[in-house]
Homo-oligomer: A and B are copies of this chain.
Amino acid sequence: MPETPVKSVYVGVDLGGTKILAGVFTPQLKLLASAKTSTKADRGPKSVFERISHVVRDAVDEADLDIKQVRAVGIGAPGSIDPEQGRVIFSPNMPGWVDIPLKKEIEKQLDVPVFVENDGNACTLGVHVAELGGKPRNLIGIFIGTGIGSGLILEGRLYSGFNRTAGEIGHMILEVGGPKCGCGNKGCFEALASRTAIFRRIHSAVKDGQKTILTDLLGADLSDLRSGDLRKALKRGDKLVEKVIEDAAEYTGIAVGNIINIVNPEYIVLGGGVIDALEDEMMAIIVETAKDYAMAGAAKGVEIIASKLGDNAGITGAAVLARDSAKG
């Protein structure tokens, strides 16, 4: 008689608009193996379900384990999520993702319990539990990449609000009448400090004839510009990139100041591709600006730090979600 496999590991999935990451974790949140694939969101939800299942199996195989040894899968997905039902209510960057039963579909394919959360919430959960040992009672995670995601831990627990959409910090208006955002409004934090906003400002400055080393590196059309290129340009003293990054860091600091004034958390943790690539250049400006904008006494002892989880924040948080949901 074959031995019943011990269900001993958890898989965390970070579902993004362009790529899907999966990581296999021990109950102590040690990462055993991971796998990655492109999302191909334009092929529609059904194709994405298959790609998620595939990358989960790949990660499990990479860890020399069998899917039967997975106790639960957690998925951090973009957009507004109903975690109780495991449904994606709406995901603006994924064509056709309206009221999608993600939990049910992946459970059907993997025969493992699946739990779904908003990606900003998942990353925040990862930082809170795996990076800070679950200690801070109130913590806000802000993740700056193509867009800006966020999550709130209040009184020790993930807080999602009335419609489960809390944490849309990227769409906080910081500059009425400011640059247009993908959401249709103007002057959102995301339209001022995301990678998209930073790249748009650099493109437009180059069009206006401003000089930058980036055109030497990538050609006049700056094709395939990445956050890492900005760091290279900064290292070489590029004035344009310096100004654009300083501005983005200042807007981020103002957003952090607003959050301190409104929610007064113990920790504000920054992460995402932009912070991962430009931590050394941005964090000091972010912290200083936030303290300038916070009311007297409000910022005292508040920790404003960059996450050390980097690109793994999403899979780690999704694994925490899987572990803690499967317990219940």
Interface residues, chain A, CB within 8 Å of chain B? 80, 89-90, 92, 137-138, 152, 154-155, 159-169, 171-178, 183, 185, 187, 251, 254, 257-259, 261-266, 292-293, 295-302
The reply to whether B301 and A163 form a contact with Cβ atoms under 8 Å apart is: yes
Residues of B within 8 Å of A178, CB to CB, are 176
Complex: A299 Cα to B168 Cα, angstroms: 12
Residue of B nearest to A257 (CB): B173
Minimum C-beta distance from A275 to chain B (A) = 19
A-B contact pairs, 24 of them (CB 8 A): A152-B263, A155-B159, A162-B266, A163-B297, A163-B300, A163-B301, A165-B261, A167-B264, A168-B261, A168-B264, A168-B295, A169-B261, A171-B261, A171-B293, A173-B257, A173-B258, A174-B174, A175-B176, A175-B187, A176-B178, A176-B254, A185-B292, A258-B258, A262-B262
The reply to whether B89 and A293 form a contact with Cβ atoms under 8 Å apart is: no
Minimum C-beta distance from A8 to chain B (A) = 34
The reply to whether A298 and B165 form a contact with Cβ atoms under 8 Å apart is: yes
Minimum C-beta distance from A38 to chain B (A) = 26
Residues of B within 8 Å of A90, CB to CB, are 296-297
Residues of B within 8 Å of A292, CB to CB, are 185
Residue of B nearest to A184 (CB): B292
The reply to whether B162 and A301 form a contact with Cβ atoms under 8 Å apart is: yes
The reply to whether A138 and B161 form a contact with Cβ atoms under 8 Å apart is: yes
Complex: A89 Cα to B159 Cα, angstroms: 29
Minimum C-beta distance from A33 to chain B (A) = 36
The reply to whether B162 and A265 form a contact with Cβ atoms under 8 Å apart is: yes
Complex: A152 Cα to B159 Cα, angstroms: 14
Complex: A254 Cα to B261 Cα, angstroms: 17
Residue of B nearest to A137 (CB): B162
Residues of B within 8 Å of A295, CB to CB, are 80, 165, 168, 171, 183
The reply to whether A262 and B166 form a contact with Cβ atoms under 8 Å apart is: yes
The reply to whether B262 and A297 form a contact with Cβ atoms under 8 Å apart is: no
Minimum C-beta distance from A92 to chain B (A) = 7
Residues of B within 8 Å of A160, CB to CB, are 264
Among A138, A154, A264, find the residue whose CB has the most chain B CB atoms closer than 10 A.
A264
The reply to whether B176 and A174 form a contact with Cβ atoms under 8 Å apart is: yes
Minimum C-beta distance from A93 to chain B (A) = 13
Complex: A178 Cα to B327 Cα, angstroms: 50
Complex: A200 Cα to B258 Cα, angstroms: 24
Q: In the complex, which of the residues B176, B177, B302 contacts A163, with contact meaning CB atoms closer than 8 Å?
A: B302
Q: In the complex, which of the residues B155, B169, B261 contacts A154, with contact meaning CB atoms closer than 8 Å?
A: B155
The reply to whether A262 and B302 form a contact with Cβ atoms under 8 Å apart is: no
The reply to whether A297 and B165 form a contact with Cβ atoms under 8 Å apart is: yes
Residues of B within 8 Å of A165, CB to CB, are 261, 264, 295, 297-298
Residues of B within 8 Å of A265, CB to CB, are 161-162
